[in-house]
Amino acid sequence: MAEIEQLRKLLIEREQQRLDELEQQLNDREHRIDSLGEILPESLQRLQHDRNLQLSLRPPLVHGIEETIQRNPKRFAAMFYPVLGPAIRRAVSEALKGLLENINRTMDHGFSLRSWRWRIEAWRAGVPFSQIVLKHTLAYSIDEVFLVQRHSGLLIARATRDSAEVLDRDAVAAMLTAIQRFMQESFAIDDDHPVRSLEVGEHTLWNIPGEHAVLVALIQGTVVREARHMLQTQLESLHQLHEQLLQNFHTYQGQQPVLDEELQSCLLRKELTVSSSNKLKKHIIRLCVLAIIVLGICFWYGWRWWWLDIDRDKLLQSLDQQPGWVVLNDTIDNGKIAVHALRDPLAVTPDEILTQHHIDAERVSFRLENYQSMDSQLAIKRLADAVGIPLSFLQLETQAQTAQPIDHGQWFSVAKPVKRSVWQDLQVLDRSLGLQLLKAPNLDLGNLSRILAAPENVELQWRGDVLVLNGQVDARWRDGLQARLAEFGVDVIVDDLSIVTFEHYASLFQQRWNNQLLVFADNTVLNADGADTLALFTQEAIALKSLSGENVLPFTMQISGLTDGEFTTPLNTGLRTQRAQSIQNELMAAGFASELISIAEISQASAEDNVRAVRITLQERADGNGSGQD
Amino acid sequence: MTDPVRKICLLGSFAVGKTSLCQRFVNNVFSTNYQTTVGVNIVTKQVAVGQQQLKLVIWDIAGESATPAVLKSYLLGSQGCLLIADGTRLETLTEVDRLHSYLQQHNPDIATSCLLNKADLDEQWEAPPEWLVERRERGWMVQRTSAMTGAGVEQGFIELASQLLKG
Ligand SMILES: Nc1nc2c(ncn2[C@@H]2O[C@H](COP(=O)(O)OP(=O)(O)OP(=O)(O)O)[C@@H](O)[C@H]2O)c(=O)[nH]1
Ligand SMILES: [Mg+2]
């Protein structure tokens, strides 16, 4: 046995030893952990697609994670925080962006007519207003789609609503890519954050990146986020179907498949759902516009007619009160007031009436026939016309009397004298009017004064049947007196003896004052008598002057200085001159012109004038009434 | 099924004539009036290389914007590059060298071709003949062009286009 044992030992000792070692290894837990750890990563990696492994790993993993979260949620929160933060932010900003777009649009429509329609719609449907806005702002149209290879910018496919080929589509696709590159470089944006959208005129460009290709959509209107999602899905399916093509397009050999057809489904469009009711609304709007126009026209004509009516009332009322107007008929015809009337030629003219009432002459037509009015005002006017008296005078005098039945006799008494030559006409008129007229003018003094055109300072008086005139007048008036009375048919006896004419007065003056001496008390001072005389002379000369009508004295005054004793002595010669000058000065001071007062030459004084005095000599002026301003 | 489309870029210092070459090639026009390009200007042209039709989308990039970051972004998806120098200004040749080595290093798949522009300006010509010879010996495609006369322009672009179809 021992030999066998020995033999076995000799034969299999090394194997035995290894078996022992193996057994020991198998039993050694630590060792097993180590060796399994060596191969586990590799085997897991190899089996990563193995369905069984996945299934068996899932429950313990899930369970473990669950338990850990339950036990220590903070730790997981800390772990996920860096991931969740950006993810949440992104989700929120996406949602906000959509919301903002809608809010902006709502604000745009905030005060428009449409917004009110929508409000009513929301109220009737019992849904929130925002929902209605959303419903209406969903309209959009994706007009054109490019499928562009991401890196090369080469155009793989394109679909468009508008079949007309306007641009070089390859260049456009490349440009879109280049623009994006340009922006990314300019703003240092990395490739993971491509430009998502661009505003190009009225269009929005959407850029939807895929792994190998980019979908660029040209959009009109407002697109909802879902549309982007749909495009994204479409792009993904294109990637799945044509991965090789999209990836290797820039080196693709030979003929390439055309994907244009497949892109057609990307040309999404959403119509406004209100099209049918829109038509109705358009009709209603058209009807409204029409109604407004018709109403406007009606209003215009009504307005015009109304004004015309007001004008007509005004006109007729005024014509009614107008003497010499009788309206027979009035109509409104063709936008004009037509008046058929009788009119006295002396009555106010139609134009005067129209301007007085601010009525447009264009809007009134007159058909007038002449007649003679019995109205007292017009009768007076006619009378005045006939007898040649200014109407202004008559009107002034008669206005107060129009209220009473007019007494032409009385009127005549205040009227200006009427020439005898028109008496016949007056009587004819008188008959036609059936009015009484005095056969002769009233002979009260006022009237006579008027008839005679008597100057102010003439006084009229009755002495029995005799008209006495008293005062100072010029001769011409006195001479014309009888002719004037005769002309106006006034038959009275006139006593004009008390009338003093200027000429008469002047001659009386001359008689009285020519060669008047003014005596001096001593060398150059008048004595009391002399002074009184000078004062009286001056007074009467002034009175005469004022009578003359032209205020001119009809005489020149020559003043001679006189002395007693030997007149040739130098002393006396000087005295004479002094005395004459002193009187001249006084007269000039009284207001007589210097050229009317002269001093006589010494030689003219005669020897018998042996008195201390001056002499005034009056001479009629050579030029008669003279032009000298005195 | 449509014809293949390729994006190519025009690079080079400012005022070397990138925009002028594009205009000559695409619209067959030329203007002496210099308006610097802002950012990038994109034109397209349908070309035939042999029997094959090809549409070129040409990115004419502003001379000023050739900083590495910008360059990298504009070169994305590009299959070919025309490096343009102005034969009358030596420093623009240096810039072409710089761009060439940049492309070799960062975008070796992009086909390149070099155009020495303004060939009509003999008097001011500064580019030494050796420069051209050396580059050709290294396997570059180098072409003298004049946007003004149109000489070499069509060939320059077509040559690059044929490289694109081979690649
Ligand atoms: N004589 C001549 N002038 C040229 C030629 N090509 C361009 N030019 C002139 O060079 C100037 C610059 O031309 P552009 O084509 O605008 O230059 P660019 O490279 O596009 O310049 P940037 O856009 O600023 O980078 C213009 O005045 C052109 O008329 C050429 O072949 N010959
Ligand atoms: Mg340019």
**For chain A, what are the domain ranges?**
120-271, 281-370, 514-620
Which residues are CB-contacts of A520 (< 8 A; sequence separation ≥ 6)? A526, A527, A530, A579, A612, A613, A614
Alpha helix ranges (H) inside A590-617: none
Considering the domain delimited by A514-620, tell me its CATH architecture: 2-Layer Sandwich (3.30)
Q: What is the pLDDT, as a whole number, of residue A307?
A: 84
Q: How many CB atoms lie within 10 A of CB A243?
A: 13
Give, using CA atoms, the residue closest to atom 1 of ligand 1: B118
Instruction: Report the distance separating Cα A327 and Cα A314, nearest Å.
Output: 13
Q: What is the pLDDT, as a whole number, of residue A416?
A: 41
Q: What is the mean pLDDT of residues A330-338?
A: 83
The answer on pLDDT for A29 being more than 90 is no
The answer on pLDDT for A420 being more than 80 is no
pLDDT tens, residue by residue, A471-483: 777 777 877 888 8
Same fold, A120-271 and A514-620: no
Q: What is the pLDDT, as a whole number, of residue A8?
A: 81
Name residues of chain B where pLDDT drops below 70. Answer: 1, 65-66, 167
Instruction: Report the distance separating Cα A344 and Cα A323, nearest Å.
Output: 8
Task: Point out the residue among B1, B7, B69 whose CB comes nearest to the CB of A153.
Answer: B7
Percent of chain A residues past pLDDT 90, beyond the cut: 1
pLDDT classification of A402: cutoffs 50, 70, 90: very low
Gyration radius of chain B's alpha carbons: 15
Alpha helix ranges (H) inside A389-501: 391-398, 408-414, 423-433, 445-452, 475-487
- For the CA atoms of A224, A225, A231, A234, the dihedral, rounded to the nearest 10 degrees, stands at -120
pLDDT tens, residue by residue, A107-162: 555 556 777 887 888 888 887 776 676 666 657 788 889 999 988 888 888 888 87
E strand map for A97-181: 140-149, 155-160
Instruction: Report the distance separating Cα A159 and Cα A559, nearest Å.
Output: 137
The answer on pLDDT for A329 being more than 70 is yes
Question: Comparing C-alpha atoms, which of B73, B77, B140, B75 is closest to residue B112?
Answer: B140
The answer on pLDDT for A393 being more than 80 is no
Q: What is the pLDDT, as a whole number, of residue A398?
A: 39
Question: Comparing C-alpha atoms, which of B47, B125, B56 is closest to residue B85?
Answer: B125
Task: Point out the residue among A155, A171, A253 whose CB comes nearest to the CB of B4.
Answer: A253
Residues A259 and A156 sit within 8 Å (Cβ to Cβ)? yes
Ordered structural domains, chain B, with CATH:
5-166 (3.40.50.300)
Q: What is the pLDDT, as a whole number, of residue B101?
A: 93
Residues A397 and A414 sit within 8 Å (Cβ to Cβ)? yes
The answer on pLDDT for A627 being more than 70 is no
Instruction: Report the distance separating Cα A286 and Cα A281, nearest Å.
Output: 8
Q: List Cα–Cα distances, A113 to A109, A110, A116, A258, A283, in angstroms.
A: 8, 9, 5, 48, 17
Chain B interface with A: residues with Cβ < 8 Å: 1-7, 39-40, 42-44, 55, 57, 59, 69-70, 73-74, 76-79, 167
Instruction: Report the distance separating Cα A627 and Cα A276, nearest Å.
Output: 109
Instruction: Report the distance separating Cα A181 and Cα A188, nearest Å.
Output: 10
Structural tokens at position A601? 């030459």
Gyration radius of chain A's alpha carbons: 69
Structural tokens at position A481? 């007196």
Residue A338: φ, ψ to 5°: -110, 125
CATH code of the domain made up of A120-271:
3.30.450.70
Residue pairs spanning A and B at CB distance below 8 A: 71
Q: What is the pLDDT, as a whole number, of residue B44?
A: 92
Closest ligand by atom to B63 CA: 1
Q: What is the pLDDT, as a whole number, of residue A263?
A: 87
Give, using CA atoms, the residue closest to atom 14 of ligand 1: B17
Q: What is the pLDDT, as a whole number, of residue A165?
A: 62
Instruction: Report the distance separating Cα A212 and Cα A242, nearest Å.
Output: 10
Crossing angle for the helix pair A376-387 and A391-398, nearest 10 degrees? 140
Q: What is the mean pLDDT of residues A583-612?
A: 78
Q: Which residue has the higher pLDDT, A44 or B48?
A: B48
Please state whether beta strands A516-519 and A493-501 pair in parallel, antiparallel, or not at all (unpaired). unpaired
The identity of residue A585, as a single letter, is: N
Crossing angle for the helix pair A502-513 and A475-487, nearest 10 degrees? 160
Q: What average pLDDT does the structure give for chain A?
A: 76
Instruction: Report the distance separating Cα A168 and Cα A510, nearest Å.
Output: 132
Handedness of CA A210, A216, A222, A227 (dihedral sign): negative
Structural tokens at position B27? 């619209």
Q: What is the pLDDT, as a whole number, of residue A440?
A: 47
The residue count for chain B: 167
Atom of ligand 1 nearest to the CA of B37: 23
A495, β-bridge pairs: A468
Instruction: Report the distance separating Cα A26 and Cα B144, nearest Å.
Output: 80
pLDDT tens, residue by residue, A197-247: 888 777 788 888 888 899 999 887 777 777 888 888 888 888 888 888 888
Burial of A238 (0-12, 13-18, 19+ CB in 10 A): buried
Instruction: Report the distance separating Cα A218 and Cα A236, nearest Å.
Output: 19
Which range is most confident: A281-285, A428-432, A498-502, B151-155?
A: B151-155
Q: What is the mean pLDDT of residues A169-180?
A: 82
Which range is most confident: A74-78, A488-492, B57-61?
A: B57-61
Q: What is the mean pLDDT of residues A440-455?
A: 71
The binding-site residues of ligand 1, defined as CB within 6 angstroms of any ligand atom, are B 14-20, 31-32, 34, 36-37, 62-63, 117-118, 120-121, 146-148
Partners of residue B64 in chain A, C-beta under 8 Å: none
The answer on pLDDT for A392 being more than 50 is no
Instruction: Give the containing element (helix H, strand E) for A617.
Output: strand A613-620
Instruction: Report the distance separating Cα A457 and Cα A473, nearest Å.
Output: 8
Q: What is the 3-state secondary structure (H, E, C) of A519-569?
A: EECCCCCECHHHHHHHHHHHHHHHHHHHHCCCCCCCEEEEEEEECCCCCCC
Q: What is the pLDDT, as a whole number, of residue B82?
A: 96
